[in-house]
Amino acid sequence: MCERFTLLLGGASSGKSSAAEKICVSSGLDRIYLASAQLYDEEMRTKAAQHRTDRGPDWRTIEEPLNASEVIFSASDGEILLFDCATMWLTNHLLAENDLIAESARLMEALRETRARVVVVSNEVGLGIVPENALARRFRIEQGALNAQLAGAADCVVGVMAGLPFVLKGAMPEALG
């Protein structure tokens, strides 16, 4: 069983978020959903609203596209925080032209120091073709580096493909077994 920090990796729409929610619900702890998406258009607003409905009322949702580390630091013992997702968070910082090394360091510090249990969702973006433009290539490199940092710090790393979880590090969380 993964006690403190669990990372779920997979492709887009692979089932990562659903698996992460199962882990949180099965924990019996107070649940916090840290959403990093910025809702710029109607499609994203509709998707976010559907996710809130699907999760149900037993979650406290915090929408924070850039300052995830502050939210993670502030979570306390007796809570489980689902950060969904590190990929959107990184994208937000990349597009804002923020210092990715400093922001990633703050995130990693928050994950080490928080008293809460944490589940992080992140996309694996290195399995496809090499992108044709410089921004996309930089994103792929930065996402790979962030995922490696997250995986190194996590107690448990679970890959998800076609809705099926597989263990990369640690033991399979009971909720997914």
Active site members: 51
The encoded tokens of residue 113 equal 């120091």
Beta bridge mates, 151: none
The H-assigned helical ranges of the chain are: 16-27, 42-55, 68-74, 86-95, 100-113, 134-153
Contact in structure between 119 and 83 (CB atoms under 8 Å): yes
Residue 132 has φ and ψ, to the nearest 5°, of -85, -15
Helix 134-153, helix 100-113: angle, nearest 10: 20
Rounded-to-integer distance, Cα 171 and Cα 2, Å = 7
Rounded-to-integer distance, Cα 154 and Cα 86, Å = 14
